[in-house]
C-alpha cells in the first residue's frame, strides 16, 4: 500500500467495547466518522468485570434505560464493630444496573449510529504509518485509534504509552435477589482488617444481590490479598448469604494510581480505564468513561473532519488530575486501625467527610442543599 495515497478502511478504530469505547463510538459515528469497535469478547455483555453502580451524574452524561436499573437512595456505612449510619442527600440516588444488558444496549446504540461492531476479534498489535495505522492479523487499517481496552491496555503496550501500575484487587459474587438486604441502601463495610485500603459492599442489584470486597497494596507497596471468605463470614449473620444461590463470580484489577502518562501518541489516544480514568479514592470510573469517552469521540471527529486540534492535546487538558483524591488514597492505604475507626467513624467530622466522598458534587454553592421554598427560589435565581 502506498503510504502517501492510502485510503484507510476506517476513520476510527476503537479497541475495547467498554463503557468509554462504546460511548465514543456512538459519538464519533453520529458526527460522520466511519468507526469500528474491536473486542475479543463474543458479545458486549460477556465477562462483565464491574459492579456497575452508576452515580446520578453518569446518567446526566449518558441516559440509560430505566428498565435496566434499580434506584438506590442512600448509603449505609458500617463500622468494623457492626454499627452503622445512613447517609442520604436530597434528590440524589445511585443506580444499580444489569451491567451486561447495559453493555448490550450501548453496543446497539453505537451500531445504530453507524459504528461497525467487530466482536471475537483480538487486538494483537499495529503498525503506524504516515497517514494510517494497520492492525496486525485483522486485515484492516484506520486513520486514528482509541484505546479503551481496560486497566491493562494492549494499545498502551503496543504504542509505548503510559500504563497503569497501581491497582486494587476486587472480588465479587452475584447471589439471587436477597430479601434480607435493605434495597434503599448501598451497604458499605469499612474494616481495615478485612478490606485494607478500600471496603466491602453489598448492593441490592437488578434481579440479584452483589457482594464484593477490594483491597489495595499498602502505603509502602506491600502486597495485600482480599480474604473474601472472611468478609462473607463477617456479614453473613446479618444477611445469610449461605442460604442463597450463587449466580456468578468475578474478579479483577481496578486501577487506582490516577492518569497514565503519556496519554497519547501520533493518531493514538487512551481513554477509560486504559487512561487511568478511575477515581483513586472511590474506584468509580463509569461516569468518567461516559463523560470523557463522549468527549474523546468528538475531539477525534473534529480532528479528522475539520482539521481541529490534536485529540491527545485536547484530552490532556480535559482529563481530571485527581490531586486530592490521590493524596487521600495514600492515606487510606495506610489502613488506620479498626479501634480508631470504631471510635471516630460516626463523629460529626467523619460523617461530614463520608458525605463529601459519597455526595461530593451534590452541594449548592453555599455548601449545602437548599431546604426551604425561599432557599430553593434564591438558589434558582
pLDDT, tens digit (0-9, with 9 covering 90-100), for 165-204: 999 999 999 999 999 999 999 999 999 999 999 999 999 9
pLDDT score at 372: 54
In a domain, 262, yes or no: yes
For 159, the domain range is 10-47+98-165+258-326
- Bond into 262 cis (ω within 30): yes
Q: Answer whether residue 118 is part of any domain.
A: yes
320 falls within a domain: yes
Comparing C-alpha atoms, which of 285, 279, 288, 367 is closest to residue 324? 279
Per-residue pLDDT at 371: 52
Query: Is 338 within the bounds of a domain?
Result: no
Q: Is residue 134 a part of any domain in this protein?
A: yes
**Quick check: is 305 in a domain?**
yes
**Measured distance CA(122)–CA(38) in Å, rounded:** 7
What is the predicted pLDDT for the residue at 220? 73
pLDDT of residue 381: 40
CB atoms within 10 A of CB 26: 26
User: Which CATH number fits the domain that encloses residue 113?
Assistant: 3.50.50.60
Element (H, E) at 255: strand 246-255
> Which pLDDT score, from 0 to 100, does residue 59 have?
85
pLDDT reported for residue 374: 54
Please identify every stretch of the chain with a pLDDT value under 50, giving residue numbers as ranges.
1-5, 362-370, 375-381
Residue pLDDT, tens place only, 20-61: 999 999 999 999 999 999 999 999 888 888 899 999 999 888
- Per-residue model confidence (pLDDT) at position 377: 46
- Split into its structural domains, the chain has a count of 1
The pLDDT assigned to 359 comes to 83
Q: Cα(315)–Cα(307) distance, rounded to whole angstroms?
A: 16
d(CA 289, CA 155): 17
Let me know if residue 158 belongs to a domain. Answer: yes
Q: Does some domain include residue 209?
A: no
Give the per-residue pLDDT at 46. 85
Determine how β-strand 185-189 pairs with β-strand 74-78.
parallel
pLDDT of residue 218: 78
Amino acid at each position: 500500500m502506498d503510504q502517501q495515497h492510502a485510503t484507510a478502511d476506517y476513520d476510527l478504530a476503537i479497541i475495547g467495547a467498554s463503557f468509554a469505547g462504546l460511548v465514543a463510538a456512538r459519538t464519533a459515528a453520529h458526527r460522520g466518522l466511519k468507526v469500528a469497535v474491536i473486542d475479543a469478547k463474543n458479545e458486549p455483555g460477556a465477562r462483565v468485570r464491574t459492579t456497575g453502580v452508576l452515580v446520578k451524574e453518569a446518567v446526566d452524561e449518558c441516559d440509560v434505560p430505566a428498565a435496566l436499573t434499580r434506584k438506590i437512595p442512600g448509603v449505609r456505612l458500617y463500622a468494623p464493630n457492626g454499627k452503622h449510619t445512613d447517609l442520604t442527600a436530597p434528590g440524589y440516588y445511585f443506580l444499580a444496573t444489569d451491567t451486561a444488558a447495559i453493555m448490550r444496549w450501548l453496543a446497539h446504540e453505537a451500531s445504530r449510529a453507524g459504528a461497525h461492531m467487530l466482536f471475537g476479534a483480538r487486538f494483537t498489535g499495529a503498525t503506524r504509518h504516515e497517514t494510517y495505522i494497520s492492525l496486525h492479523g485483522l486485515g484492516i487499517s484506520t486513520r486514528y485509534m482509541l484505546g479503551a481496552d481496560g486497566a491493562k491496555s494492549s494499545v498502551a503496550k503496543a504504542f509505548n504509552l503510559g500504563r497503569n501500575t497501581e491497582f486494587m484487587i476486587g472480588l465479587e459474587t452475584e447471589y439471587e435477589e436477597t430479601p434480607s438486604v435493605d434495597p434503599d441502601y448501598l451497604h458499605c463495610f469499612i474494616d481495615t482488617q478485612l478490606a485494607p485500603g478500600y471496603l466491602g459492599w453489598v448492593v441490592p442489584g437488578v434481579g440479584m444481590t452483589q457482594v464484593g470486597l477490594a483491597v489495595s497494596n499498602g502505603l509502602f507497596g506491600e502486597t495485600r490479598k482480599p480474604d473474601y471468605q472472611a468478609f462473607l463470614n463477617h456479614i453473613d449473620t446479618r444477611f445469610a448469604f449461605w442460604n442463597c444461590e450463587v449466580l456468578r463470580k468475578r474478579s479483577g484489577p481496578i486501577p487506582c494510581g490516577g492518569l497514565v502518562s503519556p496519554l497519547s501518541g501520533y493518531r493514538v489516544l487512551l481513554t477509560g480505564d486504559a487512561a487511568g480514568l478511575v477515581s483513586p479514592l472511590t474506584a468509580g470510573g463509569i461516569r468518567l468513561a461516559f463523560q470523557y469517552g463522549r468527549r474523546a469521540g468528538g475531539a477525534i471527529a473534529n480532528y479528522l473532519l475539520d482539521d481541529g486540534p490534536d485529540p491527545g492535546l485536547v484530552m490532556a487538558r480535559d482529563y481530571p488530575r485527581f490531586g486530592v483524591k490521590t493524596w487521600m488514597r495514600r492515606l487510606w492505604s495506610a489502613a488506620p486501625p479498626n479501634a480508631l475507626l470504631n471510635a471516630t467513624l460516626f463523629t460529626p467530622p467523619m460523617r461530614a467527610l463520608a458525605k463529601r466522598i459519597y455526595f461530593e458534587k451534590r452541594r449548592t454553592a453555599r455548601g449545602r442543599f437548599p431546604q426551604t421554598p425561599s432557599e430553593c427560589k434564591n438558589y434558582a435565581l
